[in-house]
Amino acid sequence: MSLFEKIDTICLQVYDVEQSSEWYQDVVGLKEVYKDRTYRILSVENGGTPITIEENKELIDSRHHTVYPIFFTKDITKAFTHLKENGVTVGSLKRDGTNYFFDFFDLDHNKLQVCYWK
């Protein structure tokens, strides 16, 4: 049994979320399906896993961009506890108003994230 239901999104960090959202819509043809102050969710026409662009003003150049999958779960507390009990490096459980989420890291210190939203 998997701890997660699906990959919720792939997250890309961008310097200017507004400018990047317009580019992804105008040039790539994605549709903005959710808008927040610091991030946007962009959908591919036929569904599938969307792309989240997240603003990070500290980006210097493209070599410093971070890409990471975000897993979705209906029981974020259970996922958080399970990973922590199994010795996984886990960040704190946070809420941004809409989502509950936390970061965790694999054996090579790659960032992964888990979220829950209604």
CATH of the domain at 67: 3.10.180.10
Amino acid symbol at 87: G
- Residue 97: pLDDT above 80? yes
- Whole-number Å distance between alpha carbons of 23 and 6: 27
Q: Which domain holds residue 38?
A: 6-116
Residue 1 falls inside a structural domain: no
Residue 70 falls inside a structural domain: yes
pLDDT of residue 78: 94
pTM value? Answer: 0.73
Residue 51 falls inside a structural domain: yes
Query: Cβ(10)–Cβ(67) under 8 Å?
Result: yes
pLDDT of residue 86: 93
**φ and ψ of 61, to 5 deg:** -155, 175
- Residue 62: pLDDT above 60? no
The DSSP 8-state label assigned to residue 24 in this structure reads: I
Q: What is the number of structural domains in the chain?
A: 1
- Residue 72: pLDDT above 60? yes
Residue 100 vs residues 18, 54, 94, 115: alpha-carbon distances, Å: 23, 16, 6, 6
